[in-house]
Amino acid sequence: MRGVIMAPTEVDVGRQTDLIIQFLLEDEAELQCRTLDARLEPDGPTECGDDSFDPVQIADKLRTVADALNDDVSFRAVVTNLKTAAVQEAVDAAFSQGVEALCQSQVSQRAEVAPEMQLIKASVALGLYIKKLSPELKSKVQSAMASFLNRRVGSWVTQQGGWVSRFLNLFLIISITCTADY
């Protein structure tokens, strides 16, 4: 059955999400090293077993989409609350509450965007902003972000065909284009 691509399972999507978040939150030095290594191609299947899955590309697209939220007042308020909660070791709950608050505000809502996409956009923006503002929280935020995305949208991402599905790629392209227009 050569040429047939199998749809990813929820376990595959979970592993893919973890990799995407890892690359999404990497430091500037790691980004520069990755850029230098970008010309190298693997000579076998990738870690997730899907040659079309590129967590680096997906992370870069998500980073671009999320940058639009950084200057919003309600976004900054959520970041302040999350930083306070991190001191109390309640990052997962604070992260989830922060994403929910962003999705309920007008920051990320658009009638034509699926609620799951709003959750993805808000969680990525929040995670990147916190990493930038408080690098010492990177590992906690990475864990909270991956956990949140797997719990809240993992099944939905799987139903769409995984992180490399045409639907998700189309959303990312449209979001990047709309963000560039502002």
With 80 as the cut, is the pLDDT of residue 169 above it?
Answer: no
With 50 as the cut, is the pLDDT of residue 27 above it?
Answer: yes
Q: Which CATH number fits domain 11-22+54-181: 3.30.70, 1.10.3470, 1.10.3110, 1.10.437?
A: 1.10.437
Residue 150's contacts (CB-CB under 8 Å, 6 or more residues apart) are 13, 14, 17, 18
First to last CA, the chain: 46
Q: Give pTM, 2 decimals.
A: 0.63
Would you kindly state where each structural domain of the chain is located, as residue ranges? 11-22+54-181
| pLDDT over 90 percentage in the chain | 17
Q: Who has greater pLDDT, 91 or 125?
A: 125
pLDDT digits (tens, 9 = 90+) for 94-139: 888 889 888 887 555 566 667 888 888 889 989 999 988 889 888 8
